[in-house]
Amino acid sequence: MLKFYNTLSRKKEIFKPKKGKKVNLFVCGPTTYDFSHIGHARTYVVFDMIVKYLRQKGYDVFYLQNITDVDDKILNRAKKEKIFWKDLSRKFEREYLRDMKALNINSVTKYARATDYIKEIIGQVERLLKKGVAYQIRDGIYYNIKKFEDYGKLSKRTVLQAEDAVSRIDEAREKRNKGDFCLWKFSKPGEPKWASPFGEGRPGWHIEDTAITEKYFGSQYDIHGGARDLIFPHHEAEAAQMEAISGKKPLVKYWLHTGFLTVGGQKMAKSLGNFITIQDFLKKYPARLLRFFVIKTHYRSPIDYNEKLLLQTKKELERIDEFESRIKKISKIPFRQKTHDRENFTKMIFAKTEKEFEQSMDDDFNTPKAVAAIFKLVNTGNTKIAQNRISATDAKKILEFLKKIDKVFNFIFWKKPKEKIPENILKLVKEREKARKNKDWQLADEIRKKVKKLGYWIEDTKEGPKIKRL
Ligand SMILES: [Zn+2]
């Protein structure tokens, strides 16, 4: 039975979607003003893994993600760089989608840009005004948090405490309560603006999410995800907006939040020089390593990123790779079909691994335990291989199993990038082939040594020479 930790109740709960096997899930997407960093990657890898697991269990998941494409941060950076805000926003949207593709994050059903839902946003602000929950002052429309008695239920904060986390857009002297947040900001000269019944302006940050989710899911849905620093004020505001509008609660049945990712024990910040973008990471390491690095830790636990831990993770991944290639070889040996089946490896160990994997995943996506189950299989499997006790049938079953879990994890089978062999190496290999044809073994040997010095190894096979990087 699938259970997960709900931030709203602070408890693990049995997952029961609102309607049969249909799951509506929303995750806060990026604000497109800069490159995404590995902290963002963590959240998006986690929800990609969660959605893939739900789908594997037969749930029909609609995974919706917004893209905040108009915001103070975007306007400020565009101004600083003297470019049009929309060009900046689209540029970083493209970079974001490129990063997601590189990480094999392909489970999102729909990306929704805030500026494509202005009509829906205005509709929500209008209803909040009509209900007397929102009010207008000189610079915009604000939400009165005192008019919503459940305010603070998600973050467990009171109205009085609400003032500690308001962003710049929410600053205004005339506000009724310090924690009141902006729904619609009247635009200053030069800022982007849209016409509305209450004046030209642009949306506040929190309102875009509820406008988008109402459009696709209605006033209530199953799962809302995001990084834990979004619980307050962002997610609290979302619940306050939609529940005040619809009168139905809760807006979201299950709130799921990912833990922080720190670098060297500190929060990532450009000023500290520990800011690692996804693209910087991918210049040095393969994308699958980042996925494995994220998945081997429980999604709610903090991760402290450091090179030592990453190298250790890399070694672990190599152990899985080695096992996989051994098993693959065995699966192709026909004469091993009947070998030592008495041991019944598949039934004994393999079925146990399968069970352990599912039980761990069903328990609040306990991926560290699921990964441990994989390693148990690797260890036992390696011992059995050494004893010559794995049949081709067993090997095939193990491969199938690894492929099945990798549909969720996506860090084992990865299209290996074709390595480009430099021109000068190819030329030398050709010269060597010529020397071999002429039976000039000495020259052939010299060329091989030369190629080795340049970092490549030539292996002579029946199909011709194979070149490998050393
Ligand atoms: Zn959001």
The pTM (predicted TM-score) of the whole model is 0.87
Tell me how far the alpha carbon of residue 227 lies from the centroid of ligand 1, in angstroms: 10
At residue 394, the pLDDT reads 84
Rounded CA separation 462/457 (Å): 16
One-letter-per-residue 3-state SS of 278-300: HHHHHHHCCHHHHHHHHHCCCCC
Rounded CA separation 180/178 (Å): 6
Averaged in consecutive runs of 10 residues, what is the pLDDT profile of the chain (470 residues)?
A: 97 98 98 96 98 98 98 94 97 97 97 98 98 96 95 84 62 86 93 96 97 98 96 96 98 97 86 89 95 98 95 96 94 65 64 93 98 95 87 87 95 77 90 93 93 88 82
At residue 445, the pLDDT reads 92
Tell me how far the alpha carbon of residue 211 lies from the centroid of ligand 1, in angstroms: 11
**Long-range contacts, stretch 393-397, CB < 8 angstroms, 24+ apart:** 393/337, 393/341, 393/346, 394/330, 394/341, 394/345, 394/346, 394/350, 395/327, 395/328, 395/330, 395/331, 395/336, 396/331, 397/346, 397/350
Tell me how far the alpha carbon of residue 240 lies from the centroid of ligand 1, in angstroms: 13
Tell me how far the alpha carbon of residue 223 lies from the centroid of ligand 1, in angstroms: 13
At residue 332, the pLDDT reads 87
Tell me how far the alpha carbon of residue 224 lies from the centroid of ligand 1, in angstroms: 9
Tell me how far the alpha carbon of residue 155 lies from the centroid of ligand 1, in angstroms: 15
pLDDT, tens digit, 9 for 90 and up, residues 208-221: 999 999 999 999 99
Rounded CA separation 420/65 (Å): 36
Tell me how far the alpha carbon of residue 235 lies from the centroid of ligand 1, in angstroms: 7
At residue 271, the pLDDT reads 76
Tell me how far the alpha carbon of residue 383 lies from the centroid of ligand 1, in angstroms: 49
Tell me how far the alpha carbon of residue 68 lies from the centroid of ligand 1, in angstroms: 8
pLDDT, tens digit, 9 for 90 and up, residues 356-370: 999 999 999 999 999
